[in-house]
Structure 1
C-alpha cells in the first residue's frame, strides 16, 4: 500500500499512528510505503492518504486505484473557522465529499467524527474504524522526577493554531500565577517568534519558550506537573483527539483541559487526576487548578491511574484487532 502524502503532512504527531497502521498491514502481508510523488504510484495501486485533497488527486489522476483515507480533522469546517471563509469551506466540502465517495474505507480518530460524517453524508456507505491519535506510551521515570508533584510547573506543547486557544491559556496561567507566584509556564512550540510576541502582548509572567522534537518530549515533560489543553466548543474540537493529551499523560503531566473533545471527555472521565474544565474563564480554570493543587499527589498512584487509561483506551496495540478487521473487510486481507 502506498502512503501518498507530501512530506509537510508528516510530522511528529503522525509518526506513531502510522507506525501502528504499518504494523497491522505487515501482519496481513502488505507493506506501507511512503510515496510522496504521484508519478511513482501505479495506476492500480492501493493508496492511503491523510487529507482529502490528496485523496481527490488520487481519484482524479489514478481512477483505477483503490483508496483509503485517514481522516485527522474536518478540513471544510477548519477552513471556515480559521479563515472565516465560506468560499474555502464550500471548496473543501466539494473535495471532501467527492473523495469520500471514492474511498473504500476511512480511519477516524473518534466516535464523534464517525457521527459527524454519518450526519453530514447520510447516504454515504463508508466503512470506518476508530483509533484515537496517540504518540506516546507511559514512561515511569518521568512520573518519578524529583519534586514533580510538589511544584506548580505548567507546560503547553504544540502549535499556535486558532483552535489551540493560546490567549486563553496565557490568561488562565496569569490568573493562577497571581495566587501561586511560584508557578511557571513553559511553551514548547516550533512557533517561537509568534509565541514570544503573544506572551509579550499579554504580559504573561514567569513564562519561557523552547522547542524539543517528539523524540525528546518525554524527557522534557518530566519536569512539569500540569499541561494545558484548552479548546472551544466547536465541531472541529468535538471530533478531535489531540495528541498532546497522550504526550502529557505518558510523562505524568496532569492535563488541564476542557471537555470539548467529546471522546476524551467520555473515555477519560474515570481517570484521576485530570483537571476538567467547563469553560475557558480564567477564574474558573484557576479555581479548578487550585482545588487539585491543595491535594497531595503520589507519583506511583498517578502512574497507576494513567497506565490504566492507556491500557483501556490510549494504547495503539489495543486497536490492532479492529484495524485488521477493517483492512480485511475493505479489501486488504491477508496476502
Structure 2
C-alpha cells in the first residue's frame, strides 16, 4: 500500500515537520510506500492513502481523488483561532464560518483524525455532535531532552525568557506585566524576548518600563543553545477553548533546555501529562502573581533532580517510540473496522 503526504511548503514549520516525520515512521513500520508532495501533481490509485495537516489541503486532495482514505491532523481549532486573531470583526466571523464548514466536512469524512489532545477530540465531538472512533492523539513537540543543558554553570542567575510569536492567545502583555512585578521583588533579574516581532515586543516593554530586557531573534538551529542560558521561561495562556485543547511546543522546548516553565494551569493535556513536582510554577489565574513570585524567590534549583523530573515526562509523553506506536495502532484499529 502507499500513503501520499501532501505538505505544501507554506505549511511547513518546525512543529509540523517533526509531527509529519513521526507519522511517516509509523507508516513505514506498517510497510507502506511513503511519498511526499508539495503540490497535487502526483499519480495515485483508489487504494492509496493520503495525509494532510491543513483544511484547505484536505479539500484539495478530496476533490482531486474523491478518496475516503484521507488522514488528517488537527493542529488546532482553526475557526476559533482565526476569529481571535482577527478580533471578531464581521469579515473574520464570515471566514470563521467557512472554516467551520470545512472542519465539519473533514471531521465527518476523514478516514482517520489525529488530535493533539483528548480535549481537542472532545471539543470537536461536542461541536459537531458526533462521537468518532477513528482517531489518534499525539501531542505537539519537536525537541528531545538534552542533559547538557541541565547545569547551573550555564544558567544566568535570575534570568527569564519568552520565546515565540505574539499572537493574542499567547498572553504577551500579561507576561510583561508579570515580569514587571518580578522586577520589583527579585534581585537583579533579567528578561530576554526571542521573537521575530521585535517592534511590537519593544512597545510593550516600553509601556511597562522594564529595566533589563533584551529583544532579538534567534534562528531555529540556534534556539536550543540560546534557551539553555535561562532559568525560567514564560508560557502564559488565558482560560479559553483554544488554549484548553492545545499542546504548545514551547513547553517541550523549555523543558528540553533545562528551563523551569512559568505557565498557566489551563492546558488540559499538561495537567494530565506534565508533573513537575517541586519545580511546578503553574498559575491558576493570570492575576495570582504574589504566590508565584514567592515560589521563584524561595526555590533552590537542583538541576540533577530537575533533569530526572523532566526525563520522566519525556519518557512517557514526549517519546517518539511511544507516539509512533500510537499512530500505528490508531491506523490498524481503523483499518480493521473499515
Name the TM-score, length of structure 1 as normaliser.
0.92
- SS of the equivalent of 2:130 reads coil
Question: Aligned runs of 1:104-143 on 2, under 5 Å?
Answer: 104-123=111-130, 125-143=132-150
What residue is the counterpart of 1:300 in the other structure? 304
What residue is the counterpart of 2:329 in the other structure? 325
User: Do the aligned residues in 1 keep the contact of 2:68 with 2:110 (CA within 8 Å)?
Assistant: no
Matched, 1:152 2:158: yes
Question: C-alpha separation between the residues in 2 aligned to 1:13 and 1:203?
Answer: 34
Question: C-alpha separation between the residues in 1 aligned to 2:85 and 2:154?
Answer: 40
Question: C-alpha separation between the residues in 2 aligned to 1:196 and 1:64?
Answer: 49
Question: Aligned runs of 1:67-106 on 2, under 5 Å?
Answer: 67-83=70-86, 84=88, 85-106=92-113
What residue is the counterpart of 1:239 in the other structure? 245
- The verdict on how the C-alpha distance between 1:178 and 1:32 changes in structure 2, with shifts beyond 3 A counting, is farther
What residue is the counterpart of 1:266 in the other structure? 272
Question: Aligned runs of 1:241-256 on 2, under 5 Å?
Answer: 241-256=247-262
Question: C-alpha separation between the residues in 1 aligned to 2:31 and 2:152?
Answer: 42
Select 1:62's aligned residue among 45, 61, 65.
65
Select 2:193's aligned residue among 187, 191, 194.
187
- SS of the equivalent of 1:68 reads strand
What residue is the counterpart of 1:20 in the other structure? 22
- The verdict on how the C-alpha distance between 1:316 and 1:285 changes in structure 2, with shifts beyond 3 A counting, is farther
Matched, 1:210 2:216: yes
Q: CA RMSD in A?
A: 2.1
Question: C-alpha separation between the residues in 2 aligned to 1:235 and 1:77?
Answer: 8
Question: Aligned runs of 1:29-48 on 2, under 5 Å?
Answer: 29-40=31-42, 42=44, 44=46, 45-48=48-51
- The verdict on how the C-alpha distance between 1:121 and 1:40 changes in structure 2, with shifts beyond 3 A counting, is same
With 266-275 and 311-320 compared, the bigger mean Cα shift is at 266-275
What residue is the counterpart of 2:56 in the other structure? 53
User: Do the aligned residues in 1 keep the contact of 2:275 with 2:313 (CA within 8 Å)?
Assistant: no
What residue is the counterpart of 2:314 in the other structure? 310
- The verdict on how the C-alpha distance between 1:47 and 1:271 changes in structure 2, with shifts beyond 3 A counting, is farther
Alpha-carbon displacement from aligned partner over 1:236-272 (angstroms, at most 9, x marks no partner): 1000000010110011100100011111022224544
What residue is the counterpart of 1:288 in the other structure? 292
Q: How big is the shift at 1:13?
A: 2.0
Q: How many residue pairs are counted as aligned between the two chains? A: 330
Question: C-alpha separation between the residues in 2 aligned to 1:126 and 1:51?
Answer: 21
Alpha-carbon displacement from aligned partner over 1:97-137 (angstroms, at most 9, x marks no partner): 11222210011100111111121223354511111111111
User: Do the aligned residues in 1 keep the contact of 2:186 with 2:297 (CA within 8 Å)?
Assistant: no
Question: C-alpha separation between the residues in 2 aligned to 1:190 and 1:41?
Answer: 39
Residue ranges of structure 2 left out of the alignment (5+ in a row):
none
Question: C-alpha separation between the residues in 2 aligned to 1:54 and 1:247?
Answer: 28
- The verdict on how the C-alpha distance between 1:290 and 1:141 changes in structure 2, with shifts beyond 3 A counting, is same
With 199-208 and 135-144 compared, the bigger mean Cα shift is at 199-208
User: Do the aligned residues in 2 keep the contact of 1:131 with 1:316 (CA within 8 Å)?
Assistant: no
- The verdict on how the C-alpha distance between 1:286 and 1:188 changes in structure 2, with shifts beyond 3 A counting, is farther
